[in-house]
A and B are shown apart, each in its own frame.
Chain A
Amino acid sequence: MAGLTKTNITPPRWLTAELTYACPLQCPYCSNPLDYAKYQSELSTDDWKRVLTEARKMGAVQLGFSGGEPLIRKDLPELVKHARELGYYSNLITSGYGMTEETILQLKAAGLDHIQVSIQASSQELSDHLAGTKSFEHKKSVAHLVKKHGYPMVLNVVLHRENIHQMPEILAMAEELGADYIELANTQYYGWAHANRDLLLPSKEQFQKAEQIAQEYKEKVGGKMKILYVIPDYYEDRPKKCMNGWGTTSLTIAPDGMALPCHSARELPGLDCPNIKNYSISEIWHDSKAFNFFRGFDWMKEPCRSCDEKEKDFGGCRCQAYLLTGDMFNTDPVCSKSPDREVIQHAIDSAQASANLTNDEKPLIFRNSKNSRALAKIN
């Protein structure tokens, strides 16, 4: 935007390669766009290799292969190999579904550095219910194999009202599986999670209890298993420093080649996110409208504009501001200084009011192509 000189654009350091939107699971909190079924086309292997090469040249060094389920892409080992040759640290973000010992060995040989496996809950019944697919036992065996073959493993569990009571069992399961890190990620309410928010958002008491249990466990296990607790921002009074600042660190490429400053950005209006088929990564990073849109502070409205904390949080998340206030230039409503803070309270109240409804009265919307097509109003 105006007033920003190119010299203060920092290079990307994190590249997220969303290889595909296809996924055998149906998590109702999935962060993929609701209308993902609209985006059928996928980049070719050569397109991805070019993306990796160009972003690496600019300075990207952490690479996440995600999706959807990245294992669905048959060229994954080839891409991992390319990434290794370029010097990336590559992370595979997977549900584990469909992973075999053979794949694990193949990816190891290709140079994959780390595997993050997600599990939905600590009990088979709940985990399979949330995944919308029978997968719990398989995931656990995958986790064992990941460790057996010497990978560092992050076990990721997304927390919400349906599983937050399982906190002690989730931690015990992570330890039993030999996880090096457990990421306890409170649901962030975008995409499918936003659509299901009334059924997913826990109460403040539930959060506090869960956090306390995690804290106690942390002290118990010491440095042996690292616990990463992603805070639920609805119960905070300052927003998160989204993406470490727009267009400063992170570059996401969606399955169809759209380049995004954050993974939800394709839902923001008027950004004209560029596609890698038409531009180089350098052009996208430096010159595109989308990546310059919220760089710096010139775009801000009050109260952020004159706030002395703006360098700490950049006014919070643009996607959350848009989703909850209808204006992407607004202060993230999580902030207690936001004039729209009441929308957060409404969300909390509304979720509490749904707490006792049965599944028939208010069913979870699972993330699958049928629901996505219905939501996107396409056939």
Chain B
Amino acid sequence: MHRIQWEEAQQKHVILYPEGMVELNQSSAEILKCCDGTRTLAQIVSDLEQKFETTGLTDDITAFLGVALQNGWINQN
């Protein structure tokens, strides 16, 4: 039901769904791209911390995934 895609004209990722869309900032887009059904939360955190050479992302990522779940952008198995 939701589609995430890169928008060239806006230079950002968007989530598209029936009659609506959300424009994503870079960090939200990075997190959502990790939600491919194969990684656990801990893996997503460590992958992103590695990618952006930082630590302490757990809280931010958990909070954002909560929002994403609630909006139906992702599903939990």
Contact = CB atoms under 8 A, between A and B. Distances in A.
Are A and B physically bound partners? Answer: yes
Interface of A: 11, 13, 57-59, 61-62, 64, 87, 89, 91, 113-114, 116, 152, 154, 180-181, 223
B21 interface: yes
A89 B9 contact: no
Interface in B1-48: 1, 3, 5, 7, 9-10, 14, 16-21
B9 A58 contact: yes
Contact of B19 (A11, A62, A87): A62
A11 B10 contact: yes
B66 interface: no
Nearest to A64: B19
Kindly name the residue among B3, B17, B21 whose own CB sees the greatest number of chain A CB atoms within 10 A. B17
Contacts of A116: 18-19
B14 A61 contact: yes
Given A59-B9, A61-B21, A62-B21, A152 B70 contact: no
Kindly name the residue among B5, B9, B70 whose own CB sees the greatest number of chain A CB atoms within 10 A. B9
B4 to A, nearest CB: 11
A114 B9 contact: no
Kindly name the residue among B3, B16, B21 whose own CB sees the greatest number of chain A CB atoms within 10 A. B16
Given A59-B10, A61-B7, A62-B16, A223 B21 contact: no
B1 A89 contact: no
Contacts of A152: 1, 17-18
Contacts of B3: 89, 113
Interface string B39-77: 000000000000000000000000000000010100000
Nearest to A89: B16
Nearest to B5: A87
Given A13-B21, A152-B1, A181-B18, 8 more contacts: A11-B9, A59-B7, A62-B19, A64-B19, A89-B17, A89-B21, A113-B3, A113-B18
Interface of B: 1, 3, 5, 7, 9-10, 14, 16-21, 70, 72
Given A57-B9, A87-B5, A180-B1, A154 B18 contact: yes
Across the A-B interface, give the 10 residue pairs with the lowest CB-CB distance, nearest first: A59-B9, A89-B16, A114-B18, A152-B1, A152-B18, A154-B18, A11-B9, A91-B19, A62-B21, A59-B10
Contacts of B14: 61
Contacts of B7: 59, 61
A82 to B, nearest CB: 17
16 contacts: A11-B9, A57-B9, A58-B9, A59-B10, A61-B5, A61-B16, A62-B20, A89-B3, A89-B17, A91-B18, A91-B19, A113-B3, A113-B18, A114-B1, A154-B19, A180-B18
A223 B10 CA distance: 30
A64 B20 CA distance: 11
Nearest to B20: A62
Contacts of A91: 18-19
A59 B9 CA distance: 5
A67 to B, nearest CB: 16
Nearest to A90: B16
A11 B18 CA distance: 20
B71 to A, nearest CB: 9
A9 to B, nearest CB: 13
A223 B70 CA distance: 8
A48 to B, nearest CB: 20
Nearest to B2: A152
B72 A223 contact: yes
Contacts of A59: 7, 9-10
A72 B21 CA distance: 28
A59 B23 CA distance: 12
Kindly name the residue among B9, B10, B18, B72 whose own CB sees the greatest number of chain A CB atoms within 10 A. B18
A223 B75 CA distance: 12
Contacts of A11: 9-10
Nearest to A88: B16
A114 B10 contact: no
